[in-house]
Every structure is written in structure tokens, then in C-alpha cells.
Amino acid sequence: GQQVMQIPQYQHVQEGEDFTTYCNSSTTLSNIQWYKQRPGGHPVFLIQLVKSGEVKKQKRLTFQFGEAKKNSSLHITATQTTDVGTYFCAGPSGTSYGKLTFGQGTILTVHP
């Protein structure tokens, strides 16, 4: 079945450093979503990418969707302690309409 892989699993950065997490799918995706989960919290939707090669920005966060629509990345510029949490990518399962397959997530720790 479809697999969505994320790397790295963990990332520790000093406040002010940049951070990037990568997402790779075993199949072509119609779209990809990104979620953030704060420690002790629940996943919260950040953004959805649909078009091949699409780039979207939210303040210090930059999201990219690969040309082949099989990979995506999230880049945070100048991390802050508020960026701490787990970042998940998710894509349609391909087998069941409406179902998302989540990656394992990247746990980001920011040291002040």
C-alpha cells in the first residue's frame, strides 16, 4: 500500500537556526497536507498543496510540493521556541476516498 515517509525523525536546533523536514510518498499524490502537533496537543492543519511545483509561504514557514508530486518539504526560517512540536505530512491514501495517510512526523526541539 501507499507509504508516506518523513525525515528526519528528530531535529534539535538552536533558536534562530533554520529547520527543514522532508516528506516522500511511494505514489503520486493529488495533494499533500501538513499538520503541526504541539507537545501534549492535537494535530492542527497548517496548509494544503495541490499543484506540481507549488510553493506556499506562511510567515517564516515555506512549503513546497515536488514537480512529480511525490515529495514535499517544510522549511522554517529562524526558528523560535514556539515552533517546537511534531510536524506531519499527509496524503490521500489512494485506496479509500477521504482517507489520509500520515507520515511518522518530525519532532522539532528548539533550544533557546
Partner 1 sequence: DAGVIQSPRHEVTEMGQEVTLRCKPISGHDYLFWYRQTMMRGLELLIYFNNNVPIDDSGMPEDRFSAKMPNASFSTLKIQPSEPRDSAVYFCASSRDRGFDEQFFGPGTRLTVL
Residues in contact with partner 1 by the rule CB under 8 A: 30-31, 33, 41-45, 48, 88, 92, 96-102, 104-105
One-letter amino acid for residue 53 of the chain:
G
CB of 79 vs partner 1, minimal distance in Å: 23
CB of 35 vs partner 1, minimal distance in Å: 8
CB of 65 vs partner 1, minimal distance in Å: 14
CB nearer partner 1, residue 14 or residue 30: 30
CB nearer partner 1, residue 66 or residue 103: 103
**Comparing C-alpha atoms, which of 110, 104, 69, 109 is closest to residue 88?**
104
CB nearer partner 1, residue 98 or residue 112: 98
> How many C-beta atoms surround the C-beta of residue 89 within 10 A?
31
Q: What are the distances in angstroms from CA 47 to CA 28, 29, 61, 95, 99? A: 18, 15, 10, 22, 17
Question: Are the C-beta atoms of residues 65 and 51 closer than 8 Å to each other?
Answer: yes
